Amino acid sequence: MTEKFTIGTRGSDLALWQANYVKGELERLNPDVGFEIRIIKTTGDEVLDVSLSKIGDKGLFTRQIENELLAGNIDVAVHSLKDLQTEQPQGLIIGAVCKRETPNDVLVSKTGSIDDLPRGARVATGSLRRRSQLLHYRSDLKIEEIRGNVGTRLKKFDESELSGMILAYAGLHRLGFGERVNQLIPFEVMLPAVGQGTVAIEIRERDKKTANIIGGLNDHTTNLCVTAERAFLRKLEGGCQVPIGAMATLDGDSLKLEGMVGSLDGSVAFRESIMGRAIDPGLLGIHLADKLIERGAFKVLDQTRAQVVGDGHAAPLFGN
């Protein structure tokens, strides 16, 4: 009989695209093994009327899936890497990361590029990182929060008086909405979330059999880059709900890492870059974080957390 492996995933359109992509690749690499997908609801999927920054970010889109993996009810978990905590729960590891899609954020708009937006234009995003960098570049813009999967956000946008909306290119492209992109936002304006555009496959730490099955999906270049980015984020004690961005690129044996920390209103933005040998990407991430810490990154992040807890950013939740 064909051995069966169960893939756990969220149920959003993008999560299912990712899970089906991984399933197809695993079937191609392991023709004698059967794979099935199991949908698992997470806190982030169930609470849709509250800002993500108010819910908290520890396992928001992953905890329930990881619990099922630890319990042995699924064999692998497929995630957007940017949703994962920087430290895996005890007993779990990232077994593979797939080749990264274009990691940039994009603008969906009714006018053109960010520079073309009218003064005081309303722009939607559910990300404090995007909010911070957008306001640093255009302090006149009015930011509103928006929740929901990609299709839902596009529908809300089309039916609104919003001038623009910021999303990740990877999600739009993978779901066939690439034509909605008005601008691929350059890294000079907006650094992406750590690991953005990367699909991660999580497994049990001592499950050598599953590690061998998924090993062929691991992309070495992507792995080096996201390892540096995640080390940077970990050192800053950051999660997905603070304004931290990073982007690593590999050139031969050299790794370049850029990182930013900003305030909610965009008035403060620390940004640095570093280059080093790709042999130790984690150390590179730590060194870059130290450079930002020396400039006052911890103070900015502490202020941001205090503002979020106290609802200091006070952006209305759009489209509930």
Active site residue ranges: 83
Bridge partners (DSSP) listed for residue 6: 36
Q: ∠ at Cα 226 (182, 151), nearest 5°?
A: 35
Closest CA to 270 of 250, 254, 290, 255: 290
Q: How far apart are CA 37 and CA 191, in angstroms?
A: 33
Distance separating alpha carbons of residues 133 and 138, to the nearest angstrom? 9
CB atoms within 10 A of CB 91: 12
Q: Is the CB of residue 13 less than 8 Å from the CB of residue 80? A: no
Structural tokens at position 283: 């150390």
Percent of the chain that is helix, strand, coil (3-state, to 5)? 40, 25, 40
Spatial contact of 74 and 62, defined as CB atoms under 8 Å apart: no
Contact 181, 168 (CB under 8 A): no
At 62, give phi and psi (nearest 5°): -135, -25
Measure Cα distances from 143 to 55, 109, 205, 288, 318 in Å.
Answer: 19, 14, 41, 29, 10
Specify the DSSP element, H or E, that contains 80: strand 76-80
Q: Are strands 244-251 and 199-204 parallel, antiparallel or unpaired?
A: unpaired
Report how far residue 214's alpha carbon sits from residue 195's, in angstroms, rounded to the nearest whole number: 19
Task: Report angle CA 99, 101, 106 to the nearest 5 degrees.
Answer: 165
**Amino acid making up residue 165:** M
Strand 105-109 with 199-204, pairing: unpaired
